[in-house]
Structure 1
Amino acid sequence: MDTFGHAKLISPWQLLLTVVVGIITCILILCLQIRYRPGLRKIPGPWLASHVSFADCAMIPKVYGVGSGFWKSDFHLPFDIKAPSGMVPTVFSVRDEKTHRSIRRPIANAYALSTLKELEPMNDACSAVITRKCEEKVGQSIDLGKWLHWYAFDVITSITFSNTLGMMECERDVDNIIGAIQGRLVYNSVVGQATYLHKFLFGNEVSLKLLSLIPALESSKDEEELIDEGVMLSHSSSNIFVGSDTTAASLRAAVYYLCRTSTAHRLFLAGELSDPVTFSEAQAMLYLQAVIKEALRMHQAVGLSLERLVPRGGAEVGGVWSEGGTVVGMNPWVSARDEETYGKDAYTFRPERWLEANEDKLKLMERNFLAFGAGARTCLSKNVSILEMSKLLPQLYRRFDFELTDPTKEWTLHDYWSVSQTGLICTIKRRHNSSTS
């Protein structure tokens, strides 16, 4: 107030100073939190104890195991799908275990290993396209990361809808749908920390666009013959949102690390193979499977903590007592680099570790492997992703060598829940000792 009792207006400079001081204060609080939070967790208070990130792999079965009682947190709320009838949870986003079982049970068979053989023709058709495109581009430097993403998207849409957008044929992100999905993942990772904003901000044009790819919804006139649109959209969107982006990231990781390990790709190409490579043949290629496993370990598709809620009554997690409702979780990148599990060279790409391990060590490595989640919430599309990788990698490497155009340049990682990569720029060279039968 001035001497006459009138309120003074805040000048732009005062406002700017307030904002700057506020930002600096937040940074200082964050630094103090990182430095002292382990001790502060013991002090009562909802904010200090509301989220606990643990690094003890021994806690994985307790938190993520079947029947653990640790439900998914509200972070997953933005992964619900907007259908014409309203918001619909997906098999990935649903929080409670009972509802999860009811959603998962009717479709689980479609993702079982025993049914993968039926999906091979769709995979082979897409594999033929990317192989032909690579043949056309021999000697050229291309953004192979984009091609692998287009491949993963075409495969998953073919499996899900018996139809594709033809991204590989068009050599582009058709309708910017991949860009929209990645934008949605950015949104989910941010709003997942403040889910009360979701109902005000949410607008999911991607899920509604997917409806046009479902032939049954376009052609059938008998509503009684149709599965509820929301249920259908829930299942199909789970495939597209989670399956395409994460599988593409895993494929890029495999190629990138094979480029960095000059002889690795030659070691799993011994022997004769069908053309196209069958899944059963690929499963028998032990070094190939070790390469896939190691690529998944080195580059976890998910880069944020896998959040769970402590059950009512509380629980001790990682040596810290947490009240019921506390959010706890482990980042898959942390478990993947646990030296007690994977050895002193846990930060090194070395597929041989999966072949050298004895039975007990292998069980430990598998138990602490969170590339596809764990327990009852293991990713439903896990087998489909393994199918895609197992069939495509030998199919490409039997014909081509991929070399980083600039080996001195690292790729760039983008962590927005899923960890995407850019900068996988490769020169394609034809191999002259390809193995076919």
Structure 2
Amino acid sequence: MLSHTLYTQLSTALQKPIPCILIATSGVLAILILRSLLRDITSPLRDIPGPFLARYTRLWKLCAIYKGAFEETNIELHRIHGPIVRIAPNEYSIDDPDAVKVIYGLGSQFIKSPWYTASGDPDPHNTAPDLFSDRNPTRHAASRRKVASAYSMTALAQLEPFVDQCYLVLRARFIEFADRGQVIDMAHWMQCYAFDVIGEITVGKLFGFLDQGDDIDGIMAAISQYLSYAAIVGVYSEFHRLAAKLLSFLPQKQGSGMAAMGKFANAQVQQRLSTTAAVDAADDKHPNQKGDFLSKMLNLHHENPEKITLKDVFMTCITNIGAGSDTTSISLCSVFYHLCKYPEVAQKLRAEIDEKTAAGELDDPITFKQAQSMPYLQAVLKEALRVHPATGLPLGRVVPSGGAAIAGRAFPAGSIVGVNSWVAHANQAVWGPDPDVFRPERWLVGKEQYNVLDRYYFTFGMGSRTCIGRNISLLEMSKLVPQLIREFDIGLEQPGEKWQKVNRCLITLLAADLLLLTSVLTTLLLPHIPSPLLYPVWGLAKAYAIYLQLLILPCLLGIWGAVKESPLPTNILSTTLLLDALLSLPPRLLLLASLARAPARCGAPGSQAQGIIWTRCADAAIGPIVVVVVVVLGSGLEAWGGWWVGGWGRRLGSEQMRERREREEEGEGGKERFCDEV
């Protein structure tokens, strides 16, 4: 009887379009939840600890990355649970020095995880992906061999003049600022420097960031957005093609962002090709002698056009610019920030520089070879890259067929494992009881102890996938840091404050606080922020309550309302949305007000220290326009959604009232007929 009644109710509900959609959606969610539960129960790794939601869905990892502090969460999880932590249903973060060789060592059969595909071309038929996103180890090795000679240490000597030229431009700008006693955003200028250096090294031409001091054509912002996209969409990499297709329909400013960077590189390639053609006509056997990457690649193309195609030439230029700018600027920021926070280290470094200068062992500008002969400088650089590596997510690898033993556990084939450089560099068993302390002296030890530390030094990755441009980054840093320390005094505008950072695969610093207060609907965009209305009432963690309120509660209300045809659940949902929109309005208005005031702080002198001052300029990871849109949509859509759901509830209620009246009228009519017959 009960099953027949339920069947009747479902059949009636399915005749109406909105309940049909709700039931279908709820059914799909139920299947997904059931599949996750079965996978967790049957997995041989089901006892590996980690966040509760990570056992069943990748949403936990997605939200943790979106928050921008994944490295801190990752470190804390390992300190609680040990060397193996679950971060997704089939993905595990590893903290074990012995595991590095197994996963990343030369000859390892572990291929890159699907996360990397979101960094590359969404076209599945692309036969020549870039080095970073290529998951095919054979093809990657062949592609790397094509260009490896251009990145070797021996090739760096030809690149030094390009770095020196950029330093002279930066030095002139810093002298201007120092003479005016101006507070500057050091992070911005390090990024300008890194972009101009990589442009000069790659195609023999400055972008012009140092001259203008601005983000030309939005190139910096475009790379930042690209990194955010790759880090977040990579969690659900199967949607990369769809996401890229949808984004392609959005209006884009002509000549801006990634398009401007590609146009810049392509213009230099075409110009050099035309020059090469003219030289070839004169029978010159060496058409490209400038020494930049473009010259080297065109020479290789000239020698063997089939092996090194023009597409290879262009991709090398684009990859250099895209990958070699942010990473180096982040690393330089780490060096100067920690030198400011640890003045005793800065004094020791300056003493080494002064001693070498007095002995006539340093030129102006300082050469890379001379910088390498300065042990304390090299220890400072290495320690800065240890305490703040540029990459902040686990470098995921897929366990090959046959499985693998990692950190004392047997992992079946298909499992994804990875080491996060931040986690590796926080391991107290390797780095001692003070891994969070900036202490360059830890590197000034005997060879045996140095090798123990270096074995778990993960800044540039490990094995065959080690960052191919690491030597360029070290060249830039080794030359710039001693030059600036020798010529300028650098201090923090607010010495007592700790820098803020945001992790979108590359961990950059935030130059200003931006308080984001939002709730239920916009929590879908900012899921780490709790709702002011639906707080946990079952003793669950606040983060889990958000998922309950966003996923499970609406589903249950939808099923209840559809099956029972009751307006009560829809009225509850409507009231919730409307109240939440109302309660969230004041903090959202405060957010807009603080955003309007923030630019006034930018560039305001705040310190009496001589020379260049570190600033906290009002430059947020999320642009002001995006924040305004989120705030407006957050309140507007939430209120509209509550009103629409409420209207649906009212229509359901009216329908039920009409049906009840009709039944009552039919009942009364039946009674009258019965009386007449009697």
Range with bigger deviation, 105-114 or 369-378: 105-114
Q: How does 1:23-172 map to 2 (within 5 A)?
A: 29-30=52-53, 48=89, 50-81=90-121, 88-138=128-178, 139-172=181-214
Structure 1 residue 2: Cα displacement: 7.4
1:183 is the counterpart of 2:206: no
Mean alpha-carbon deviation: is it higher for 199-208 or for 294-303? 199-208
Distance of 1:28 and 1:346 partners within structure 2: 24
Structure showing greater Rg: 2
- 1:371 alignment partner, SS class: coil
Residues 1:8 and 1:430: Cα distance change in structure 2 (over 3 Å) = same
CA distance in 2, matches of 1:178, 1:213: 15
Amino acid at match of 1:407: P
**Residues in 2 aligned to 1:377 and 1:4: alpha-carbon distance in whole angstroms:** 57
How far off is 1:350 after superposition?
0.3
Q: CA deviation at 1:422?
A: 2.5
Comparing 199-208 and 410-419, the one that deviates more:
199-208
Match runs of 1:18-417 below 5 Å:
29-30=52-53, 48=89, 50-81=90-121, 88-138=128-178, 139-202=181-244, 206=258, 209-214=261-266, 215-218=268-271, 220=273, 228-268=309-349, 269-271=353-355, 272=357, 273-355=362-444, 357-417=445-505
Deviation at 1:233, TM superposition (A): 3.0
TM-score, with structure 2 as normaliser? 0.56
Question: Counterpart in 2 of 1:434?
Answer: none
Aligned equivalents of 2:461, 2:157: Cα separation in 1 = 24
**Structure 1 residues 376, 3: closer, same or farther in 2, change over 3 A?**
closer
Distance in 2 (alpha carbons) for counterparts of 1:191 and 1:87: 22
Q: 1:373-417 CA deviation, whole Å, 9 max, x = no partner?
A: 011111011010001000001111111111100112221111011
Counterpart-to-counterpart distance in 2, 1:153 and 1:264: 28
| SS at 2:191 equivalent | helix
How much does 1:131 deviate? 0.9
Tell me how far apart the structure 1 counterparts of residues 439 and 433 of structure 2 sit (CA, whole Å): 12
Moved more, 212-221 or 73-82: 212-221
SS in 1 for 2:451: helix
Report the 3-state secondary structure (helix = DSSP H, G, I; strand = E; otherwise coil) of the residue aligned with 1:414: strand
Kept in 2, the 8 Å contact 1:151–1:168? The answer is yes
| AA at the equivalent of 1:243 | G
Q: Could you tell me how far 1:296 is from its partner in structure 2? A: 0.2
CA drift of 1:86 comes to 5.1
More strand by percentage: 1
Say whether the 8 Å CA contact 2:265–2:318 is kept in structure 1: no
1:8 Cα deviation from its structure 2 partner: 6.1
Asked if 2 retains the 8 angstrom alpha-carbon contact of 1:91 and 1:235, the reply is no
Q: Deviations over 1:177-219 (max 9, x none)?
A: 0110010000001111111111122268726742432423245
SS in 2 for 1:58: helix
TM-aligned CA deviation for residue 167 of structure 1: 0.3
Bigger RCO (CA 8 Å, 6+ sep): 1
Distance 1:9 1:117, change over 3 A: same
CA contact (8 A) 1:300 1:333 kept: yes
Deviations 1:284-328 (A, max 9, x none): 111111000000000011100011111111111122211112111
Give the whole-Å Cα distance in 2 for the aligned partners of 1:28 and 1:94.
30
Of 209-218 and 133-142, deviating more is 209-218
Tell me what 1:429 maps to: 610
Q: Deviations over 1:313-370 (max 9, x none)?
A: 1111122211112111011001111112111111100001111x22211111111111
Deviation at 1:232, TM superposition (A): 2.1
Cα–Cα, structure 1 residues 86 and 230, in superposed 2: closer, same or farther, change >3 Å?
farther
Could you tell me which runs of 5 or more consecutive residues in structure 2 were left unpaired when the two chains were aligned.
Answer: 1-7, 37-49, 61-76, 249-256, 278-297, 513-602, 613-678
More deviation, 227-236/194-203: 227-236
- How far residue 430 of structure 1 moved from its aligned partner, in angstroms, is 4.0
Distance in 2 between residues matched to 1:106 and 1:239, nearest whole Å? 15
Call closer, same or farther: CA 1:200–1:361 in 2, change over 3 Å. same
Answer yes or no: is the 8 Å Cα contact 2:354–2:486 preserved in 1: no
Closer, same or farther: CA 207–97 of 1 in aligned 2, 3 Å: farther
Query: What's the CA shift for 1:242?
Result: 1.7
One-letter amino acid of the structure 2 residue matched with residue 270 of structure 1: D
- Give, as a single letter, the amino acid of the residue that structure 2 aligns with 1:212: F
Q: CA deviation at 1:229?
A: 4.0
Distance between the aligned counterparts of 1:106 and 1:32, measured in 2?
A: 42
TM-score (norm 1): 0.86
CA contact (8 A) 2:227 2:504 kept: yes
> What is the Cα deviation at residue 155 of structure 1?
0.5
Deviation at 1:87, TM superposition (A): 7.0
Change (3 A) 1:87 1:410: farther
Task: Tell me how far 1:423 sits from its aligned partner.
Answer: 2.6
* Aligned residue identity for 1:175: D
Which of 249-258 and 318-327 deviates more?
A: 318-327
Query: Structure 1 residues 340 and 169 mapped into 2: Cα distance closer, same or farther (>3 Å)?
Result: same
Query: Percent identity of the aligned residues?
Result: 33
Alignment partners' CA distance in 1, 2:441 and 2:260: 45
Matched residue, 2:251: none
RMSD (CA atoms)? 3.4
In structure 2, relative to structure 1, the CA distance for the partners of 1:208 and 1:198 (3 Å cut) is: farther
Task: Indicate if the aligned counterparts of 1:294 and 1:351 stay in contact, CA closer than 8 A.
Answer: yes
For 1:326 and 1:416, the matched residues in 2 are separated by: 23
Structure 1: 5+ residue stretches without partners: 432-437
Distance 2:481 2:272 in 1: 37
In 2, Cα distance between the equivalents of 1:120 and 1:81?
Answer: 32
